[in-house]
Structure 1
């Protein structure tokens, strides 16, 4: 009997939940564990906007006591991995004065 693999696709971005691996087209992305968790959360909730506090609670956990700018740093790292032009993102968008969302 074959096991079903949980795959999430957002255009050419493919996330294999079981393998904890993400690929852009044929290229496997080199992500940190937290970077993968953040990308997975955004992909599972694509189109929805989350502020820093919400992302910290959902991805880092309720007990995270660090700086909320941690989210910005991880978003910037993810953009470098998945955007053709990280300075003009088309996948992970900033919604001014609100938060971030994955478009797709």
Structure 2
């Protein structure tokens, strides 16, 4: 398993988690974040802390996704140039192009 495939798996997982966290949020405060601490005054954490947690997790996951994408691109570029430098050109035989002979001396 290459490092690029590991990065790709991590990118898919972080993307899925980011979608889930974004879908849980409601900008008006009436989504799932309010149902976790919904009705009473004896709530653990409260709605404000839940929305703060979701907001921080959104930014953290988005930053992590950006870093993973950049690292996978750097990894892909470094392995691509390494593979290009491993190409052995000693065994390659290229034939010279054949040019047709012209008889300029016969026309004089």
- What TM-score results when the alignment is normalised by the length of structure 2? 0.28
Higher helix share: 2
Pick the structure with greater CA Rg. 2
Higher strand share: 1
